[in-house]
Amino acid sequence: MPKAQVIHKLGPPEAMRWEEWPVADPGPGEVRMRHTAVGVNFADTYHRGGISHPWVVPPCPVVIGFEGVGVVEGVGDGVTDFKTGDRVAYGIPPLGSYSEARNYPADKLLHLPDGLDDKQVAALLMKGMTAHYLLHRTYAVQPGDTIVVHAAAGGMGLILCQWGKAIGANIVGTVSTPEKAEVARAAGCDHPVVRSQEDFLAKVRDVTDGEGAAVVYEAIGKDTLQQSLDCLRLMGVCAAYGHVSGPPDPVDIIQDLGRRGSLFITRPAIMHYVAKRSDLEWTARDLFKAIGDGVLDANINSEYPLKDAVAAHQAIESGTTLGATVLLP
């Protein structure tokens, strides 16, 4: 019987237990797959700890994770686009990737092109699709735009830096240590800022001659949101897609955003941007091309056996990790 990291009660990393996890025959519209690599995202820690919308995480016992690569072992009734032996990948819920095998909806599954490495795709797929909509749809970054990337040396931040630089953006990125500043710089960040040593708001004003940034990718939340809004140019966009430091203080969207310059603030979520199959395929196609062309590198700095997912979460929550983390069944 396959095993998985099973959670019987949401809580700290130790809530995950390496146990047998039965997988039924695939139902109608489902594909059974065996994982070869599993991506780890900071959002996984929210799901494990109960810091998420209740409709995202099913009742316990539950297996978390929403990014995986593997091989098809069977298909359910009505599935015609996939067959046994196909290499496949996914990067959106339903949860369940912290497992050796699982069933997954065929309408959300993607064929993995030849030549792409399983670990690279597992580390990049969800974050890469998120970067795609942030850079191309939430705000369509143009060559010469100044953009602000928070947590620029993290798995998500490095992808935004690499892809943003390929577009031609001028990038200000915030990090927590000088070491991470150099990692961000190597990924294309023009102006890395160690937040404990320098004011990123002052840096943005300096590099834009006081105009402000076109968009800020706000992944930190409580500790930075107010300054993030202040660093925007007139009619700039704040894409608040994460809150590592906790939920931010409320913003008066009627008075405050208008006073600051007719700003736009949005809380984007990948599920909405790829809800249509056509959008999912477009996003993945662009991402797979960027990987194949060498525009994006997964920056995998940590690999753990799937059975050691507890240690992976402990490392991520410590704030000491660089780049992406993958789990290997």
- Round to whole Å and give the CA distance between 213 and 228: 9
pLDDT at 248: 65
pLDDT at 65: 97
Label the pairing between strands 191-194 and 110-111: unpaired
Locate the domains of the chain by residue range.
3-124+274-328, 143-267
Is the overall model pTM greater than 0.85, yes or no?
yes
pLDDT at 54: 67
CATH of domain 143-267: 3.40.50.720
Ranges of the chain with pLDDT below 50: none
Question: 145, 161 in Cβ contact below 8 A?
Answer: no
Report the amino acid identity of residue 76: G
pLDDT at 244: 65
pLDDT at 142: 98
pLDDT at 299: 81
Read off the tokens for 177: 């240590």
Segment 118-174, tens digit of pLDDT: 999 999 999 999 999 999 999 999 999 999 999 999 888 999 999 999 999 999 999
**CA nearest to 92, candidates 117, 109, 111, 116:** 109
- Round to whole Å and give the CA distance between 105 and 147: 36
- First-last CA distance in the chain: 14
Half-sphere exposure of 214 (CA within 13 A, CB side): 16
Q: Which residues contact 248 (CB under 8 A, 6 or more apart)?
A: 221, 222, 225, 226, 240
Segment 187-210, tens digit of pLDDT: 999 999 998 999 999 999 999 999
Question: 41, 98 in Cβ contact below 8 A?
Answer: no
Strand partners, 74: 32
pLDDT at 168: 98
Q: What is the DSSP string of 259-279?
A: HHHS-EEE---HHHHT-SHHH
- Round to whole Å and give the CA distance between 189 and 153: 9
pLDDT at 225: 83
Sign of CA pseudo-dihedral 195, 196, 199, 201? positive
Question: 22, 1 in Cβ contact below 8 A?
Answer: yes
Question: 290, 128 in Cβ contact below 8 A?
Answer: yes
CATH of domain 3-124+274-328: 3.90.180.10
pLDDT at 82: 98
**Residues for the chain: how many in total?**
329
